[in-house]
Amino acid sequence: MKEIGVGVIGTAFMGKAHSLAYAAAGTAFGDGLRPRLEMVCDIDPEIAKAKQIEMGFARSTTNYMDVINDPKIELISVCVPNAVHREISIAALNAGKHVWCEKPMATNVPEAEEMLAAAHNSSAQTMLGYNYTQNPLVQSARDLIQEGVIGSITGFHGIYDVDNEADPDRPYSWRMNREASGTGANADVMCHLVSMAHYMTGSEVNRLVGDYDTVYKTRIDPQSGEERAVDNDDVCSALVHFDSGIKGTLRVSRVAWGRKCGLRWEVHGSQGMICHDQERLNELQLYKRSDDPRQQGFTTILSGQYHEPYTAFLPNAGHTLGFIDVKVCELHNLLCAIAEGKPAWPNFGDGIKIEKVMDAIDRSALSGQWVDV
Ligand SMILES: NC(=O)c1ccc[n+]([C@@H]2O[C@H](COP(=O)([O-])OP(=O)(O)OC[C@H]3O[C@@H](n4cnc5c(N)ncnc54)[C@H](O)[C@@H]3O)[C@@H](O)[C@H]2O)c1
């Protein structure tokens, strides 16, 4: 297998997830490019050094330009807070490097447009971390929908609840600040739900009305010890219209106690329904209309070797995949895109469509009006 040198910028939840995926992709798939862990970067020098050793990188740095300028590195992971995605992605693309950037793409549409322009000016590939669409079982659900198993699509309805910020005593962080994060639950979790809505329906949201709630209006700033205003949303909802003509509902919260990764969605069809819950990521619920009402009910489909690329990890059904396995699938799609010189979903062009929906939700929630995307 041909090798590709990789660098990871940012070393927390996502920096580690990308590093685990790089370490596993060659072994899991046995084809395409095999990542070689060249350099890891974190702004904190102690963390950078510690992560280099822990995660098995050859070198570490505190300056992301070292990663970008390194001739041994061809692919760069952007796993830093949202406000830094733009400058790092653009610098990497301008240097001809492929970019695997975490979601959301940026903190606002103009920034995302600059990133897309840099991608258009480069022959490098891009990918965004909308990992939930990369689950083999979810991809199989999409195939079933496209094959007409639930008839024609009549609606998409989704919820993404988490309890990351549900504790009112949770301190202030960059995620609660418009400048550093963009919007709140909208930027952090709604973007995943929109990616799922676009992916599963094969159609894009084009008109909507949105609504916000900031449940906890102030938080204690750990630096100053004083109360600081939260200037973005804890809860975000939207009634949405798609360009295919279907309608739907989207609702997310970062203050929903008990929901750990509560991404739940349903695609309604004229002959049935298909549903998924990320907290049970190996199970799909399928309802097919039957002429005999005694046989009607949801079927639970367990992930298995019939849902490729499941067998990259396991030979038998029921042994279950996890979040990192799905991240490996996402990376494999990017590695294939690089090897073949063909874009994979979701690249920056797909990402900007998601950003525009989040922006429309923001405009609508602030104005109280229906808006076009
Ligand atoms: N795809 C997913 O499911 C998913 C899940 C969680 C987070 N994310 C996204 O991943 C990104 C990172 O999230 P996280 O939870 O890992 O964040 P985090 O805030 O916990 O960690 C960010 C890391 O980046 C480092 N950093 C900050 N600025 C830097 C700079 N200029 N140069 C180098 N390092 C820098 C920090 O020291 C820290 O290690 C965010 O954009 C977030 O939205 C995606």
Atom of ligand 1 nearest to the CA of 84: 31
Among protein residues, the one whose CA lies closest to atom 27 of ligand 1: 80
Cβ neighbour number for residue 94 with a 10 Å cutoff: 13
Q: How far is CA 203 from CA 113, 151, 174, 189, 198, in A?
A: 21, 16, 32, 20, 5
Alpha-carbon distance of 73 to 250, in angstroms, equals 39
Q: Which of 238, 256, 147, 135 lies closest to 196, judged by CA?
A: 135
Check if 183 has its Cβ closer than 6 Å to any atom of ligand 1. Answer: no
14 in ligand 1 pocket by Cβ < 6 Å? yes
pLDDT value of residue 170: 96
Map tokens 């938080």 to a residue: 219
**335 CA → ligand 1 middle, Å:** 22
C-alpha count within 13 angstroms, C-beta hemisphere, residue 180: 10
Task: Based on the fold, state whether residues 347 and 216 are members of the same structural domain.
Answer: yes
CATH number at 283 reads 3.30.360.10
Greatest CA separation found in the chain?
66
3-class DSSP state for residue 358? helix
CA of 13 from ligand 1 middle (Å) equals: 7
Q: In this structure, are 153 and 124 located in the same domain?
A: no
Same-domain pairing of 78 and 153: no
The token pair that represents 369 in the structure block:
């009006």
- Nearest ligand 1 atom to the CA of 88 is 31
Residues 6+ apart with CB under 8 A from 292: none
Residues 218, 301, single domain; the answer is: yes
Nearest residue by C-alpha to atom 21 in ligand 1: 12
Structural domain including 281 reads 134-372
Determine whether the shortest distance from the Cβ of 78 to ligand 1 is under 6 A: no
Of the candidates 122, 22, 17, the residue with the CA atom closest to the CA atom of residue 335: 22
Query: Is the C-beta atom of 143 inside 6 A of ligand 1?
Result: no
* Residues 116 and 176 reside in one and the same domain: no
Could you tell me if 121 and 157 lie in one domain? no
Each of the 373 residues of the chain gets a pLDDT tens digit; together they read 899 999 999 999 999 999 999 999 999 999 989 999 999 999 999 999 999 999 999 999 999 999 999 999 999 999 999 999 999 999 999 999 999 999 999 999 999 999 999 999 999 999 999 999 999 999 999 999 999 999 999 999 999 999 999 999 999 998 999 988 889 999 999 999 999 999 999 999 999 999 999 999 999 999 999 999 999 999 999 999 999 999 999 999 999 999 999 999 999 999 999 999 999 999 999 999 988 988 899 999 999 999 999 999 999 999 999 999 999 999 999 999 999 999 999 999 999 999 999 999 999 999 999 999 9
Q: Is 82 in the pocket of ligand 1 (CB under 6 A)?
A: yes
The answer to whether residues 78 and 99 touch, using CB atoms and an 8 Å cutoff, is: yes
Q: With a 6 A CB cut-off, is 9 part of the ligand 1 pocket?
A: yes
Final residue before a domain boundary, out of 115, 131, 147: 131
d(C-alpha 7, C-alpha 11), whole Å: 11
CATH code: domain of residue 75: 3.40.50.720
The answer to whether residues 126 and 138 belong to one domain is no
- Annotate 155-195 with DSSP letters as a single string: EEEEEEE--TT-STTPPP-GGG-HHHHSSSHIIIIIHHHHH
Separation between Cα atoms, residue 14 and residue 37, nearest integer Å: 16
Count the Cβ atoms, other than its own, within 10 Å of residue 64. 23
* For ligand 1, mutation pick of 46, 76, 80 (most atoms within 8 Å of CB): 80
373 Cα to the center of ligand 1, angstroms: 28
Please give the distance, rounded to the nearest whole angstrom, from the Cα atom of residue 287 to the centre of ligand 1. Answer: 38
111, 131, 151 — which closes off a domain? 131
Q: Pick the residue whose CA is nearest to atom 22 on ligand 1.
A: 80
Q: Identify the bridge partners of residue 76 per DSSP, sorted by sequence position.
A: 7, 99
Residues 126 and 140 in one domain: no
Q: What is the pTM of this model?
A: 0.96
**End position of a domain, from candidates 99, 131, 163:** 131
Question: 142 and 202: one domain?
Answer: yes
Give the chain's domain count.
2
Nearest residue (CA) to ligand 1, atom 4: 14
Tell me: do 235 and 368 sit in the same domain: yes
Q: How many CA atoms lie within 13 A of 3 on its CB side?
A: 8
Residues 99 and 182 in one domain: no
- Ligand 1 mean position to 14 CA, how many Å? 6
Residues 206 and 324 in one domain: yes
